Amino acid sequence: MDDLRFAAPWALLLLVAIPLLAWLAWPRRASGSIRMGSLASVAAVRPTWRVRLEPALMLLRVAAIALLVVAVARPQQGEAASEAQGEGIDIVLAFDVSASMTQPFGQGRTRLDAAKDVLSRFIEGRSNDRVALVAFQGSSITLSPLTNDYGAVNESVQGADQVRLADGTAIGTAIGESVNVLRGSNAVSRIVILMTDGESNAGEIAPLAAARIAERLGARVYTIGVVSRVGINPQQSTLNVDERSLQEIADVTGGTYNRAEDPAALAQIYQRIDELEKSRFEAQVFTRYDDIAPFFLAAAAALLALEVGLRSTAFRRLA
């Protein structure tokens, strides 16, 4: 169903004054008394329908004033985006599968193992969204196009580290590949979630330049830096990630940058991104609002014209 909102809802407070104005303006019998002859001869005469209905003309004016107040409040009607609800969100998972991802990441697991588990659960949590997978090292490759076949995407995630790619970390190339996947997307929301444990040191596309391309396409890029803690001191970590660059990429496209220092933190980051995108998507269910105040103005004008017409014809008072 359609959504209705008011651009100036404060104006509706004027509706409270309308009953008082109607009461003050309602026709009343004159007060006081004068000495007259006997009215017994006309007591049995019933008033005509014009006399009985004339006070009701005031209701037309009251209704017209109410419609004018509503028009001042600027009512707007949004179109229900049922098609958008069916399409959901288009998501490209950019997955760093470089050799450094085999380093320990806590809980007796490697970064690669933890990442596969988190991505798998993220994919399983989709319903109407389409998901694609881009694996990258010194170059990138699309392992799965945008699809609702979550089982197929999951299989690609599990075998992503078996792909033979050039050594290195090509973040700009990965973003460019991901944007290319989204190029034909008509979804309301298009995002790239890029996870890496290194800084860009390969590829022909600079990360920030790739981010600009994503921005022009209207795609948000969420960046995640995977950082392993050192020993028992939580303040020390193997920080090989260029966090400044990842933050700039996210800022340019409207996404966010997050640091993951253990598997639990990594899972929470994907959950936060999921919740943020869902809220953004739901907020865009009614993305186009049409101003319908002119209809209320027309109705008010019609009621006033009707009142004037009736007073000058059927309810006209003879001099």
Q: What is the pLDDT along the chain (319 residues), one digit of tens a residue?
A: 456 888 888 888 888 888 877 777 666 555 555 555 555 555 555 656 565 666 667 788 888 888 988 999 888 876 655 444 445 789 999 999 999 999 988 777 899 999 999 999 999 999 889 999 999 999 999 999 999 999 999 999 999 999 989 989 999 999 999 999 999 898 888 999 999 998 999 988 999 999 999 999 999 999 999 987 654 444 444 567 899 999 999 999 999 999 999 999 999 999 999 988 887 766 655 556 678 889 999 998 998 888 788 778 876 765 4
Length, in residues, of the chain: 319
Cβ pair 22, 73 in contact under 8 A = no
Cβ pair 146, 174 in contact under 8 A = no
Strand segments, DSSP code E, in 13-167 are 75-78, 89-96, 130-136, 140-147
pTM, to two decimals: 0.63
CB neighbourhood size of 162 (10 A): 8
> With b meaning 16 or more CB within 10 Å and e meaning fewer, what string describes 124-133?
eebeebbbbb
Domains in the chain, start-ordered, CATH in brackets?
A: 1-21+49-80+286-319 (no CATH), 87-283 (3.40.50.410)
Give all strands of the β-sheet with 289-291 in edge-to-edge order.
3-6, 75-78, 289-291
Residues 6+ apart with CB under 8 A from 184: none
